[in-house]
Amino acid sequence: DAGVIQSPRHEVTEMGQEVTLRCKPISGHDYLFWYRQTMMRGLELLIYFNNNVPIDDSGMPEDRFSAKMPNASFSTLKIQPSEPRDSAVYFCASSKQTPYNEQFFGPGTRLTVL
Amino acid sequence: QQPVQSPQAVILREGEDAVINCSSSKALYSVHWYRQKHGEAPVFLMILLKGGEQKGHEKISASFNEKKQQSSLYLTASQLSYSGTYFCGTETGGTSYGKLTFGQGTILTVHP
């Protein structure tokens, strides 16, 4: 089975532009997570979904960030407008609802906002 | 609140052992351990549940002290491939079931 798929792998954009990151979780997984990783802040959870429903978005930095999960096999994270401080690696992860619920991470999207 | 990992960095020679610690101020349901190599995604190593159950790679061992909300990862007879950044992720369960909060990471470097 394929792992978590993310696109694009790299994104370079200019300040003020809209950015959309995409994620396809592992088939059959119930949870989907969006993380952001920077040197300064480490690996921080932005939002997570259970069965396509957002459960906790307390990590979303501000209104410029939004996430959707229209179906079990697709999710997007959108930044509008983007700012240089949004530059980071964004990971999507998924897990299956079991007592262990280990998370499987996608390869990440490296975002650079100029 | 983010769990605290110690040490921040470890340097070993092949064959040496290391222990990485993770401490939380909250009551925990589980502790997860992940390893991330430079430029790659974090990879699951082990999970320890409240109550004693655990699941993970055969060559990795860890402990979970539920009373102290602390976990330790034991790396024995280290190999070059063990190099990377190790993260613990803590889960409080309940309404936050499935949600992990990660520590700041421990950088492990193994030299020949």
Give the model confidence (pLDDT) of A37-75 as tens digits. 999 999 999 999 999 999 999 999 889 999 999 999 999
Burial zone of B6 (CB within 10 Å; 0-12 exposed, 13-18 middle, 19+ buried): middle
- A43–B102 C-beta distance less than 8 A: yes
- B99–A48 C-beta distance less than 8 A: yes
A25 in reach of chain B (CB within 8 A) = no
Give residue B43's pLDDT: 95
DSSP H stretches of helix in chain A: none
Whether residue A109 contacts residue A89, with contact meaning beta carbons closer than 8 Å, is answered with yes
Residue A15 phi/psi, 5-degree rounding, is -50, 135
Would you place residue A1 in the very low, low, confident or very high pLDDT band (cuts 50, 70, 90)?
Answer: low
Residue A89 phi/psi, 5-degree rounding, is -100, 125
- B2–A103 C-beta distance less than 8 A: no
Give residue A19's pLDDT: 98
Q: Is residue B80 classed as helix, strand or coil in its secondary structure? A: helix
Of A89-93, A94-98, B5-9, B43-47, where does mean pLDDT reach its minimum? A94-98
Query: A104 to chain B, minimum CA–CA distance in Å?
Result: 7
Residue whose C-alpha is closest to residue B29's, from A47, A57, A101, A31? A101
Question: Over pLDDT 90: what percentage of chain A?
Answer: 90
Q: Which of B60, B100, B106 to mutate to test the interface with A (most CBs of A within 10 A)?
A: B100
Q: Is residue A96 classed as helix, strand or coil in its secondary structure? A: coil
- B98–A101 C-beta distance less than 8 A: yes
Query: B10 to chain A, minimum CA–CA distance in Å?
Result: 18
Q: HSE, CB side, 13 Å, CA atoms: give it for residue A45.
A: 25
**Amino acid identity, residue B49?**
L
Measured from the Cβ of residue B8, the count of other Cβ atoms closer than 10 Å reads 9
What is the pLDDT of chain B when averaged over all its residues? 92
- pLDDT tens digit sequence for B40-73: 999 999 999 888 888 887 778 999 999 999 999 9
Please compute the mean of the pLDDT values over residues B30-41 and round it to a whole number: 95
The dihedral sign for the CA sequence B52, B17, B9, A104: negative
Residue B71, Cα to own-chain centre: how many angstroms? 7
Q: Give bridge partners of residue A107 from the DSSP assignment.
A: none
Residue whose C-alpha is closest to residue A33's, from A109, A91, A101? A91
Q: Which residues of B are less than 8 Å from A99 in CB distance?
A: 49, 53
- B53–A99 C-beta distance less than 8 A: yes
Give residue B56's pLDDT: 83
Q: Give bridge partners of residue B15 from the DSSP assignment.
A: none
Give residue B1's pLDDT: 82
- A50–B41 C-beta distance less than 8 A: no
Question: Over pLDDT 70: what percentage of chain A?
Answer: 99
